[in-house]
Structure 1
Amino acid sequence: MKQSKKIAATGNHIKLSGVHIVKQTMKLIVFFGLLLASSYTWAQIGPPRGAGGPTERVELLPGSDSLVITNEGGVEVRRVVNNVRFRHKGAVLHCNLAIHNVASNLIEAYGNVKIVQGDTITVTGDTLYYYGDTRLAIVSGRKAMLKDKKSTLTSRKLVYDMAVGIASYPAPGRTVDKDNVLTSEEGFYNTRTKEFTYYRNVKIVNPKYTLTTDTLFYNSITKWSHFQGKTRIESKDGTLVANKGRYNTETREAIFNTRTSVDNESYTLTGDSLFYDNLKEIGFAKGNVEILAKNDKTLLTGEEGFYRGKEGFSKVYGRALVRSVVQADTLFIRADTLYSYENKVDSTRRLIGNKNIYMFKTDFQGKCDSLVYNTSDSTILFFRNPILWSDNYQLVADSINAYLVNNKINRMLLKSNSFVISEDTLLNQHNQVKGRTIQAYFNSENKLRQVLVDGNGQSVYYAVGEDEKLIGLNRVECGKMNIQFLDNRVKRISFVGRPDGELIPPQKIQPDKRKLEGFNWRINEKPTRAQTIWAEVPPAAEPVSKNELKQGKGAVGAINR
C-alpha cells in the first residue's frame, strides 16, 4: 500500500494533507521526533552497505522549502524542493529540486545544480545523478561545468568520480586555463594530478600557436602534452607535422619519436625522430634527415642533423648529401659532414663539406677532403687533395676554385702544384700542363678553351696537322704560358719569357717523354651520380707513387683515406 507524507513550512504552523486528520497528526508527531533526534540526517537511516562496513549516508541539510516522503515496497523516497542542500564526504550539493532514494543512496537533482568540493572544485549544471555509495556524479545540461583553480571544463554532460577526483565528458567538451583553450569529442581530467586525456578532434588554441591531434595527454602543471595520431602545430614561426611525440605548451619544446617535419617560410626540417625548441629555433633530427632551404632550393640530407634557426646554421652527418638545384641542373655534394650557413640579410648561403667529399654535376665532377660552396656567387672552393673532371679534362692542385656562370662551369683557379690533363680520344693520348698557378677557362659547351700558367710552367701536347696526322710531341718549359684549346686539342700556345722546348717526331717519341712528372690519369675515380648520392660504393683511390708524393705533397696523388 502506498503512503505519502507532505511537509510544508508556513510560518509557525504545520499544514497536513490526508483524510484522517487525527491519525496523520499522530504520525506527524512521531516523524518530527525522529527528525529532531537525528539532527536532520534523513539519509542515515538504512542497513550497512558492503562487506567492508557501513557506507556513509548522504545528509540533507536544513533550509529547504518543502519535503515530501513516499514509501513504496519498503523503499523510502524523499522529494525536496527549493534551497536544497545535501552534504556527503565533505562535498555540498545544491539544487532547486531533488529526489532522494534513501535505500540506494541515490540523488536526482534538477535546476541550478551545484557541487562544491572543498575550496577548490565546483561542478554546475542543469541536472544531476549522484550515486552516494560510489560518489559518482553525472551532471548534464546546456552547459555542464567543472571548475578548479587551474582549469574550467565544460560540456553537455560531465561524469565526475569524486572518490578518485576524475572528471570526464562523453560528449564534445572544452577546457580553458590561463594559457590555452582545448576542445575534443571526449576527455578525462584528473583534478588531483591536473592531468588531462583527450580523444578525437583534439585542438589546443594558444595565443602563440594552435595544436590539433587525435589523442592527447596533457599535464597542466608541467605543461607537457603527449599525443598520438596525426598532429599539427601551427604558429607564426611555422608548422610542425608529426604522428607521435610530446610538446611543452609553455617552453614550446617538442620531442617526436616518429617521422616529423618542421616547416616555415625559410626552411623545412624533417626526420624519423626530432627535438625542436620553438623559442630558441633549435632542432635536432635523427634518421633520414632532410633540411630544405627554400630560398635557394638547397636540400641537405643525412642520418642526423642539427639546426639553429636564429643563426641560420645547419649541420648534417652520416651519409650527408646536399642537393642544390639551379635552373634545370642539380649539384650533388656528399661528405662525412656538411655544414650550412645562411645569411638572412641577403638570403645567401655558404655550404661547407668535411672529409671524403664527392661532387657530381652534369658538367663536372670532383673529389676532395674539404669544400666551401657559396650560393651567392656560385663559387665552389676545393681544399685538401682536390681533383676535378670536366668533359675530357682532369684538374689537380693543392686548392681549386671553381666559378659557375648561369649554372655552368666558367673558370677554375688552381693554386700550387697545379696539373691539368686533357685526353685526346682520337690519338688515345693526353695533353698536359702543370705549374704553380693555373687558370682554366671553359666555353659554353663546357669544353676547355684556354689555360694560363703562372710560374714553373711545363707542358706536353701533341701537334696534329689538318689531315689529323700526328706531327710530333711538343715538350715546353716556361715561367708563363697561354695555351688555347679547340676540341680538346692545343690550337695555339704562347710564352712569356724564353721557353725551353723541343718537338719530338712521332717515330722518336719515347714512353718517358709522353708524361710530365707526377702524371696520373685517374679517370676510374671520377664520381658518378649514384656514387655521390650514396647509392653505390665508389672505387678505392689509386696508390700514390713516389713521384706524385714528391710533386705535390699528395695533391696530385690519390686521396689518402
Structure 2
Amino acid sequence: MKNIIKFFLLLLILFFSNSFAQNKNDLVTVVGDSLTGKIVDGQNIREIFGNVVITQGETIITCNKAVQYMQKNEVELFGDVEVNQDTVKLITDAGYYYGNDNIAFSDTGLIMYDGHMILAAMNGYYYLDEEKAYLYEDVKLVDMVSTLTSNQLTYYQGEDKAVSVGDVKIIDSTSTIIADSLIHFRTSGDSYAFFNVQISDAQNDLTIYGDTLVDLKKEKYTKITGRPFLVQIDTTADGLLDTLLLSAGLLESVSDSVSKLIATDSVKIMRGAFSSFNSNSVLFRNEDRILTFRKENEKEPPILWYENSQLIGDTVNIYLDGNRLEHIDIDKNAVLISVHEEMEFRFDQISGDKIQLFFGEEGLKRTNVKGSVLSIYYMFDEDEPNGLIKSSADRTDLIFDNKKLVDVRLYGSPASEYHPENLVEGKEKEFTLPTFILYENRPDKKEMLKRISNSKSIF
C-alpha cells in the first residue's frame, strides 16, 4: 500500500513540475523605462512606459507603452508597435497581445512582412504559433510579381498561401484577375478563383468571364469553367469597333510557343458578320487563326455563318489579317449554302471535298471548291428570277463583285443543266443537294452579351 501511495505522489510531482515549466515558458515578460502597478476589479495591472520590450519564447514585441494584465497573460500595446518572430515583422500604431494563445491583434491599421511580401489591412490577427494571419478591411498583399487586394485574407506563411474573400483582385505583369474569392500561392504564382471570375489581358483588350478559374503560372496554363465567355475589343481600319465574342462550356489557355486558347462544348463565336456554333475550337493567337473541327464520335459538324451564307465541314480554319477576315478553309464534307433574302426558299448551294473562301475589303471575293463538286445556283436577269443551273465538276471557282456572284467556272469533267423559271417557281424545295440542311442555332449577339450584363468592369 505504501508503495502505491509513493507511486502516485511521484506522478503528481512530475505532473506539477511539467505544468509549471510550461506556464513558465508561456509567461509574458515586459520591461521598460518605468513601471506602475494597480489593481482594478481584482485584476493585477501593470503599466510600462518607454522603450517597452515584451518577450514570450521566440516572440519579441516593442512599443512605447504597454498595459499588462497579469492574470490574463495579455498585453495592450500603444505607439510604434512592432511584433517580431523569426523573419516575420508586424507593425501597427496600437494593438493587443494574447499571451496564452500567442496571438497579436490590431484594429488601427497594420503592416506585416517577411522579407518576400508585404501585407497591409485596417484590422488583423497574427497567430504566431500557426504562422497564420487573418486580415480584414482594405487588405493588400504585395510581392515582387503581383499585387492582391480583397476585403478579407487569410495568409499561411508556411505554404505561402493566401485565401482571399470579397472583391478580390490580383494584378501581375501580364493579367488581372477579379473574383468573389481566390486562393493564391505566392511562390509559384498559381491562383484558383471562384464565382464572378474575370481574367483580363489589357495589352490585347481581352477579358474572359467565368465561375471558376485555375491559373498555373509556371505551366503557362489557365482553365475557366462555369459558362466561360470571352470578349476581345478591336477596331477596324476605319475606326469602327470590331468585337470578338466567344462562349463555351470550357476554356483553356496555353501560353507556350504556339499560344492558343481552346474552347470546348457548345462553342459560340461572333465577330462582325461572321459567327459559328461548334463543339471544339482553337484560337491561335500568334497566327491570327481559328480552328474548329468535329471529333470522330460527334454527330454535328462545325457550323459557320457569314452574312447570308451558311458553311459546314468536318474541319474549318478561319484566317484573319489583323482584325479583317482573310480566308476560310473547309475540309471534308464541305457545304456552302447562301440564301436570297428577297426570294423565299431560293438557296444557292455548293458541296465538295474542300471549300476555300477569300475575302477583300468589301467582303467575299472568290470561292474555290475542289473534289466531287455539286452545285445549284439560281439565275437572275436584271433582278428578275430566271431559273437555276445544276452542275457538277472536279473543281469550281466562283467570282463575286459587290457581294454578288458574277462568274462561275467549272473544271474537270464539267456538266450542267438549266432549269427554266416556269419549272422552278413554287418548287424551290425540290432543288436541293443531298447534303442540304439549314441550321437554326446561329449565335445572337444580344443574347451572348447578357452573360456579362451584370458583371463588374475590370478596366
User: What TM bracket, shorter-length normalisation?
Assistant: 0.7 to 0.9
Q: Is the 8 A contact 2:25 2:57 kept in 1?
A: no
Instruction: Provide the secondary structure at the position in 2 that maps to 1:521.
Output: coil
Partner of 1:396: 312
- CA distance, structure 2, for counterparts of residue 533 and residue 119 of structure 1: 60
Match of 1:225 in 2: 133
Counterparts of 1:198-209 in structure 2 under 5 Å?
A: 198-209=106-117
Residues 134-178 of structure 1: CA distance to partner in whole angstroms, max 9, x if unpaired? 33221112x222123322212221012232321121444221222
Which residue in the other structure is 1:333 paired with? 246
Is the aligned partner of 1:373 residue 2:283? yes
C-alpha displacement of 1:517: 2.0
Tell me how far apart the structure 1 counterparts of residues 26 and 131 of structure 2 sit (CA, whole Å).
24
Structure 2 residue 366 is the aligned partner of structure 1 residue 450: yes
Runs of 4+ in 1 over 4 A off after TM superposition: 117-121
Q: How far off its partner does 1:246 sit? A: 0.4
Aligned to 2:321: 405
Is 1:136 matched with 2:45? yes
8 Å Cα contact 2:151/2:167 also seen in 1: yes
| Aligned: 1:439 with 2:348 | no
Query: Could you say what the CA RMSD is over the residues aligned between the two structures, in angstroms?
Result: 2.1
Pick the aligned partner of 1:182 from 72, 84, 90: 90
Q: How many residues align?
A: 414
Structure 2 equivalent of residue 501 of structure 1: 416
Aligned to 1:514: 431
Match of 2:441 among 521, 525, 536: 525
The superposition leaves residues 270-319 of structure 1 with CA deviations (integer Å, 9 ceiling, x where unpaired) of 21111111112221111101112344333221111111111111111112
Of 142, 145, 161 in structure 2, the residue corresponding to residue 253 of structure 1 is 161
Distance 1:119 1:168, change over 3 A: closer
Match of 2:457 in 1: none
Instruction: Say whether residues 1:464 and 2:380 are aligned partners.
Output: yes
Give the corresponding residue for 1:241.
Answer: 149
Do the aligned partners of 2:27 and 2:99 also contact (CA within 8 Å) in 1?
no
Match of 1:473 among 364, 388, 397: 388
Note the 1:101-112 alignment, pairs <5 A: none
Cα gap change, 1:491/1:228 in structure 2, threshold over 3 Å: closer, same or farther? same
Secondary structure of the residue that 1:319 maps to in structure 2? coil
SS in 1 for 2:122: strand
Evaluate the alpha carbon distance shift between residue 470 and residue 319 of structure 1 in structure 2; reply closer, same or farther with a 3 A threshold: same
Cα gap change, 1:119 to 1:499, in 2 (>3 Å): closer
Residues 1:324 and 2:232 aligned together: yes
2:214 to 292, 303, 306: 306
Identity of aligned residues (%): 21
**CA apart distance, 1:453:** 0.9
Query: Contact between 1:453 and 1:481, CA under 8 Å: does it hold in 2?
Result: yes
- Judge conservation of contact 2:135–2:152 (CA < 8 Å) in 1: yes
- 1:534 is displaced (CA, Å) by 4.6
Shift of 1:461: 1.0
Instruction: Give the match for residue 123 of structure 1.
Output: 30
Distance 1:501 1:119 in 2: 99
Q: Assess, with a 3 A threshold, how the Cα gap between structure 1 residues 519 and 118 changes in structure 2: closer, same or farther.
A: closer
Q: Which amino acid aligns with 1:500?
A: A
Bigger-Rg structure (1/2): 1
2:30 maps to a residue whose letter is: V
Which secondary structure state, in structure 2, belongs to the residue aligned with residue 533 of structure 1? helix
SS at match of 1:255: strand
What per-residue deviation string (whole Å, max 9, x for no partner) do you get for residues 435-468 of structure 1? 11111112213x2221111111111112223x22
Answer whether contact 2:229 2:451 (CA < 8 A) is retained: no
**1:421 aligns to what?**
337
CA deviation string 1:32-91 (max 9, x = no partner) = xxxxxxxxxxxxxxxxxxxxxxxxxxxxxxxxxxxxxxxxxxxxxxxxxxxxxxxxxx9x
* 1:401 positional shift: 0.9
Say whether the 8 Å CA contact 1:296–1:324 is kept in structure 2: yes
Paired with 1:449 and 1:284, the residues of 2 have a C-alpha distance of 47
In 1, the alpha carbon distance for the partners of 2:135 and 2:285 equals 40
User: Partner letter of residue 531 of structure 1?
Assistant: E
SS in 1 for 2:187: coil
Query: 1:100-146: CA deviations, max 9, x gaps?
Result: xxxxxxxxxxxxxxxxx7797542212212237633221112x2221
Contact 2:393 2:412 in 1 (8 A): yes
In 2, distance between residues paired with 1:427 and 1:293? 45
Distance 1:399 1:160, change over 3 A: same
Checking the alignment, whether the CA contact within 8 Å between 1:453 and 1:480 is kept in structure 2 is yes
| Corresponding residue for residue 401 of structure 2 | 486
Aligned to 1:267: 175
Q: Which amino acid aligns with 1:323?
A: V
Distance 1:363 1:313 in 2: 31
The residue type paired with residue 308 of structure 2 is: N
Contact 2:211 2:225 in 1 (8 A): yes
Alpha-carbon contact 2:316-2:329 (below 8 Å) kept: yes
TM-score scaled by length of structure 2: 0.85
Distance in 2, Cα, partners of 1:219 & 1:276: 20
Identify the range of structure 1 (425-434 vs 156-165) with the bigger mean alpha-carbon deviation: 425-434
> Who is 2:7 aligned against?
none
Q: Contact 1:321/1:533 (CA < 8 Å) preserved in 2?
A: no
Q: Is the 8 A contact 1:476 1:499 kept in 2?
A: yes
Aligned to 1:286: 194
Cα distance in 1 for partners of 2:402, 2:337 equals 14
The answer to whether the 8 A contact 1:211-1:233 is kept is yes
Counterpart in the other structure of 1:155: 63
Contact 1:140/1:158 (<8 A) preserved: yes
The TM-score normalised by the length of structure 1 is 0.70
* Paired letter, 1:162: M
- Matched residues in 2 for 1:391 and 1:119: separation? 78
